[in-house]
């Protein structure tokens, strides 16, 4: 099914110069990059984006990490892009992410209370709609 997802290259991915590699993987799969913006995350945006994690003990670790430098945010489209991008990212924990996935190939183990795992991707059509609205207002 033709659909859109929201993706992000987190501060670790930007700092380590992996923007081109990550975007290249989307393009290799023939997904279309519909919108793209580099920006600093404000506390407000982060709390809206991770509304389900705000109460977790590790949220401050996430906040420090996610606001430590610019991120690249984008919208990608294509058939089944939401699930496909999640598969391409690999699982949350870099220790468990399989080689061949972005996290399995590039992410480092946990540091300073935040799992630094290079990328984000919407986990469902509802999340995609919500996140595209939060980040791109559309």
Ligand X SMILES: Nc1nc2c(ncn2[C@@H]2O[C@H](COP(=O)(O)OP(=O)(O)O)[C@@H](O)[C@H]2O)c(=O)[nH]1
Annotated binding site: 10, 58, 86, 92, 103, 117
Burial class (CB in 10 A: 0-12, 13-18, 19+), 138: exposed
Q: Does 123 bind ligand X (CB under 6 A)?
A: yes
Q: State the DSSP string of 25-37.
A: HHHHTT-EEEEEE
Which one of the spans 27-35, 41-49, 76-84, 116-124 is the region binding ligand X (CB under 6 A)? 116-124
Q: Does 125 bind ligand X (CB under 6 A)?
A: no
Which one of the spans 1-9, 23-31, 54-62, 71-79 is the region binding ligand X (CB under 6 A)? 54-62
Residue whose tokens read 């590790």: 58
User: b/e for 41-71, b at 16 or more Cβ within 10 A?
Assistant: beeebbeebeeeeeeeeebebbbebbbbebb
Binds ligand X (CB under 6 A): choice among 117, 118, 128, 132: 117
Question: Is residue 120 annotated as part of the catalytic site, yes or no?
Answer: yes
Of 68, 120, 122, 128, the catalytic one is 120
Query: Which residues are known catalytic residues?
Result: 120
């Amino acid at each position: 099914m033709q659909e859109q997802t929201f993706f992000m290259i987190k501060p670790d991915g930007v700092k380590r110069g992996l923007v081109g590699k990550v975007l290249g993987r989307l393009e290799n799969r023939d997904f279309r990059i519909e919108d793209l913006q580099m920006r600093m995350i404000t506390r407000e945006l982060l709390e809206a984006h991770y509304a389900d994690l705000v109460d977790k003990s590790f949220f401050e670790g996430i906040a420090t990490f996610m606001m430590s430098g610019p991120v690249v945010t984008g919208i990608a489209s294509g058939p089944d892009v939401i699930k496909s991008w999640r598969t391409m990212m690999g699982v949350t924990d870099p220790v468990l992410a399989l080689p061949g996935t972005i996290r399995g190939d590039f992410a480092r183990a946990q540091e300073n209370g935040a799992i630094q795992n290079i990328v984000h991707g919407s986990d469902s059509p509802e999340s995609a709609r919500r996140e595209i609205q939060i980040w791109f207002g559309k």
